[in-house]
Amino acid sequence: MMILLILLLLCLSIASLYYYLWFHLGWGSLFSEESIQPPRPLVTDKRTRDKVLKQGFSQDKIPANLDALIIGSGVGGLSAAVALAKAGKKVLVLEQHDQAGGSCHTFQEHGYEFDVGLHYVGQMHEGGMFRVIMDQLTDGQLQWNRLGDQYDSVIIGHKVYKVYAGKHEFPDALKKQFPGEEEAIDKFVSLMKKVARHVPLLAALKIIPQFIALFILKTGLLHRLSPVFHLTESRHQDVVEKLTSNKDLQTVFSYLFYGVPPNDSSFMINALLLHHYKRGAWYPRGGSSEIAFHMIPVVERAGGAVLVNASVTRILLNKGRATGVAVQRKDKEICIYAPVVISDAGIFNTYGQLLPPEVRIKPEVESLLSNLQYGMGCFLVFVGIRGTSDELGLQSTNLWIYSESDLNSMMEKCKSMEWEEICQELPLMFITFPSAKDPTYSQRHPGHSCMTLLTMAPYDWFQQWSGQKPRHRGDEYQRMKMKLAEHMVERAIKEFPQLQNKIDYMEAATPVSNEHYLRAPKGSMYGAEQNCSRYQCEIVSKMRSQTVVPGLYLTGQDVFSSGVAGAVHGGLLCASASPYISSYYYI
């Protein structure tokens, strides 16, 4: 038994080392130091940017002899595309929206620019794991601006707690704010480190053959290999309650909400999120659309293309194998063929919308989908403000506002409250100032700044307008969303009274907005629900890039985890699973 255990540990270690070294450090991989070029000046000309981000679909723009097709241009799709392009493969990325980038695209209205999904990213310090990855994916052209050391404030009722970056500063600041809780904080930080060190083993669980993963799981050997598997399956609330009874400290340990209450979320995910920002928080110079703007040229240099306004209606199959996709164009369908098809559309869209019923009813597909839920939706308010961030004294610090310290009851309340109720009582809200995070904002939009507000929002509130086009949903829809938006802006002004009478523009996005622009099922923020059920080790193993359809692969958030970092890792796992790279790098 001991020999078997050692062999299994060796197998997982080799797989995780393979993933870490080849994709993170560039040792003997597609990534290389030579690809990193000195950053060129920021491109602000709209026409120049549109040529990259808004290359419209037409049949004559489809490259010949494609190696791969990718559905969706979110960072999960683009990361996989760049990795394949660096392997010399010709890839076509198809995006249904009018610009590339997915949740990392931006839009401009009335002289203001807003990001729609990226608020800040961690691990971007020089030599940091994620910095190395992003440098390689953009050939070193994507530049980052570090937020202040105090990058987050957590407001619980009338109390304010500050979160600082730094290996020692993070726990030391918490200890000063929670005297008597030093032991609990030290234990929590220790668990964070343990999760961060061992998380490559979760990637390994998706790389090794699935029958091996399920074998070591069913025999009980998996949990003896590393504590990360137990922490992954443990509810966050159960772990923090063993550390402390202080409700405010429990909330600070759990404040980075993603739609799942602590009593239904994985401890591993919450700990990993906090550890992600431990060395600081960063924002792309020039805005979040810079990510796609610098990834797309890498794809194009290999002969590929990223085309927008290309709505994929179905995945083409021949004798059960994926052979291409169909794109709907007015009154006709255009079929495009490639030996590899990759979907960044999410697991629900891929199996539920793009594949025929005979695939969806396969037992292994039904079993997997039955263990997943649709993610929670969100409500966003985009606010244009007269005056620069410097003039108004706006900082890069983000605010997480909670009406009480019981996040479980608060989030349940959000899910069950009627729309009219939440307009009177707002349980939680996030406030951020993108213009204060990016020093180029005032140069690109003189005399302007912007604010983004976010809260959770059940899809049911706006479901009756699903399928209707933006700006054609009627007066009742507009009245509903702007009433909540105004209430959220009033709450923000309580924190920033200098914004009174400075609001110049306001727009709101609901779950049906996300459903339309991002094809997010039921307007979900982060793909399939990031709850504890999803992070049971058996589901972790099955949520991999390979699908039941030969030639079809998944990428993005549903492959690994949520957010920009999770989607990028999903893209790299997808690329490593493809025949082009898995055979190129034989373990």
For the full predicted model, state whether its pTM sits above 0.85: yes
Confidence of residue 369 (pLDDT cuts 50, 70, 90): very high
Residue type, 559: V
Confidence of residue 498 (pLDDT cuts 50, 70, 90): very high
Over residues 101-124, the pLDDT tens digits come to: 999 999 999 999 999 999 999 999
338: nearest Cα among 568, 57, 71, 52:
71
51: nearest Cα among 308, 330, 329:
308
pLDDT at 502: 97
CA–CA separation, 546 and 196 (whole Å):
25
CA–CA separation, 488 and 453 (whole Å):
7
Q: What percent of the chain has pLDDT over 70?
A: 94
Q: Which of 34-43, 353-362, 566-575 has the lowest mean pLDDT?
A: 34-43
536: nearest Cα among 205, 234, 194, 200:
234
Over residues 243-288, the pLDDT tens digits come to: 999 999 999 999 998 889 999 999 999 999 999 999 999 999 999 9
CA–CA separation, 351 and 363 (whole Å):
13
Q: Find residue 450's DSSP bridge partners.
A: 384
Pairing assessment for the beta strands 341-343 and 552-554 based on DSSP bridges: parallel
Q: Find residue 121's DSSP bridge partners.
A: 282
Q: Higher confidence at residue 333 or residue 25?
A: 333
104: nearest Cα among 284, 341, 250:
284
Structure tokens, 59:
């049949």
Provide the mean pLDDT of the chain.
91
Dmax (CA) for the chain in angstroms is 71
Enumerate the H helices of 244-320 as residue ranges: 247-252, 267-276, 289-301
Structure tokens, 576:
């490593």
Over residues 170-193, the pLDDT tens digits come to: 999 999 999 999 999 999 999 999
pLDDT at 454: 96
Contacts (Cβ under 8 Å, ≥6 apart) of 276: 122, 123, 565
Coil vs helix vs strand at 230? helix
Domains defined along the chain, listed by start: 31-144+284-372+523-582 (3.50.50.60), 148-279 (no CATH), 378-456+458-509 (no CATH)
pLDDT at 344: 98
Residue type, 444: R
Contacts (Cβ under 8 Å, ≥6 apart) of 25: 31, 132
CA–CA separation, 201 and 18 (whole Å):
11
Count of other CB atoms within 10 angstroms of residue 246: 16
267: nearest Cα among 226, 222, 234:
234
Confidence of residue 425 (pLDDT cuts 50, 70, 90): confident
Over residues 518-565, the pLDDT tens digits come to: 999 999 988 999 999 999 999 999 999 999 999 999 999 999 999 999
Q: What percent of the chain has pLDDT over 90?
A: 80
CA–CA separation, 105 and 290 (whole Å):
8
Say if residue 4's pLDDT is above 70. Answer: no
Confidence of residue 582 (pLDDT cuts 50, 70, 90): low
Q: What angle do CA 228, 229, 230 make, to 5 degrees?
A: 90
Q: What angle do CA 120, 123, 128 make, to 5 degrees?
A: 150
pLDDT at 586: 33
